[in-house]
Amino acid sequence: MPEQVIHSQDTQAEGHTDFDRLFGRWNVRHRRLQKRLEGDTRWDEFAGTSETRPMLGGFGNVEDNLIEFPDGTYRAAAVRTFDPATGLWAIWWIDGRNPSVIDVPVRGSFKDGVGTFLCDDVFDGKPIKVRFIWSEITESAARWQQAFSADGGETWETNWDMRFSRAA
């Protein structure tokens, strides 16, 4: 019996192609705050690469990363899935240094070309909110930022900034 296609042209909700321009290979410039939620203003800057490809018939994608931290290179992955019933994306982060743990997913959507994704998490034993922002996405560039809030979302500290440029 042939495999049944679950998602057809008729069921594709608006938003399922939001990450399509990220498909392919990228060079990445990272800026990461040295200490989070401590009022630190010192940043580490380092390089990396990323490759994103579709999965789940276009309703998801996986981003494979090589991150060249100052203290050593490692791999990580982001897995993104789109729920056509809600119009929301879920994004999970998997760190190659601890591959048996998958981070709490952030959930959100794009509006006017900016994707905002949020979740509740724990950092250093304290509850926080996490925010990912995807912006400035073109065929040749993109930007991702991560921020934490220790006060329920009243204020945010951006602690990681990634600038993507299309690899040759």
Model confidence over 107-163: pLDDT tens digits?
A: 999 999 999 999 999 999 999 999 999 999 999 999 999 999 999 999 999 999 999
User: What integer pLDDT is reported at residue 70 of this predicted model?
Assistant: 87
Q: Mind listing the pLDDT tens digit for each residue in 59-68?
A: 999 999 999 9
Go through the domains of the chain in sequence order and give each one's CATH number.
14-166 (2.40.128.20)
Is the confidence at residue 76, as pLDDT, over 80?
yes
User: What integer pLDDT is reported at residue 12 of this predicted model?
Assistant: 57
pLDDT band at 10 (very low <50, low <70, confident <90, very high): very low
Is the confidence at residue 7, as pLDDT, over 70?
no
User: How far apart are the C-alpha atoms of 92 and 142, rounded to whole Å?
Assistant: 19
User: How far apart are the C-alpha atoms of 19 and 54, rounded to whole Å?
Assistant: 9
User: What integer pLDDT is reported at residue 6 of this predicted model?
Assistant: 46
Beta strand 60-69 with 114-123: parallel, antiparallel or unpaired? unpaired
Q: What is the mean pLDDT of residues 90-119?
A: 95
Question: CB-hemisphere CA count at 13 Å for 151?
Answer: 5
Is the confidence at residue 99, as pLDDT, over 80?
yes
Q: Mind listing the pLDDT tens digit for each residue in 11-60?
A: 557 889 999 999 999 999 999 999 999 999 999 999 999 999 999 999 99
Q: What is the mean pLDDT of residues 92-105?
A: 93
User: What integer pLDDT is reported at residue 14 of this predicted model?
Assistant: 82
Is the confidence at residue 168, as pLDDT, over 60?
yes
pTM of this structure? 0.89
Query: Coil, helix or strand for 56?
Result: helix
